Amino acid sequence: MYAGNGSNAEYLIGVLFDGIPSRTRLAQCPPFALASTIQRLSSPAEILVCERAPLWSALGPRIGDVRVPAWIRQELRVKHSGERWILGRHLEREVERHIRRQGYRVVMSATAADKNIFFEEFYLPYLQSRHGAGAITASREKFLQVASHATLAQLFAGDAWVAGMLLLHREDTLRFGWFGSRNNPPASGASEVLDVLCIRDALQRGVRCINFGNSRPSLVDGIVRYKSKFGAQVVLPRYPQTVVEFQLRSSRAALREWFTSRQFLCAHADTVAVAEYPPGDPSARLQFTPIGAFQ
Q: What is the pLDDT of residue 183?
A: 95
- Write out pLDDT tens, residues 79-136: 655 545 566 678 888 999 999 999 999 999 999 999 999 999 999 999 999 988 778 8
Region 188-207: mean pLDDT is: 92
Using H for helix, E for strand and C for coil, what is the string for the chain? CEECCCCCHHHHHHHHCCCCCCCCCCCCCCHHHHHHHHHHHCCCCCEEEEEECHHHHHHCCCCCCEEEECCEEEEEECCCCCCCCCCCHHHHHHHHHHHHHHCEEEEEECCHHHHHHHHHHHHHHHHHHHHHHHCCCCCHHHHHHHHCCCEEEEEEECCEEEEEEEEEEECCEEEEEEEEECCCCCCCCHHHHHHHHHHHHHHHCCCCEEEEEEECCECCCHHHHHHHCCCCEEECCCCCCCEEEEEECCCCHHHHHHHHHCCEEEEECCEEEEEECCCCCCCCCCEEEEEEECC
Q: What does pTM read for this prediction? A: 0.86
Residue ranges, CATH 3.40.630.30, the chain: 88-167+177-204
pLDDT tens figures, 122-152: 999 999 999 887 788 999 999 999 999 999 9
How high is the pLDDT of residue 295?
46
- Report, at the CATH architecture level, how domain 88-167+177-204 is classified: 3-Layer(aba) Sandwich (3.40)
Residue 42 — very low, low, confident or very high, per pLDDT cuts 50/70/90? low
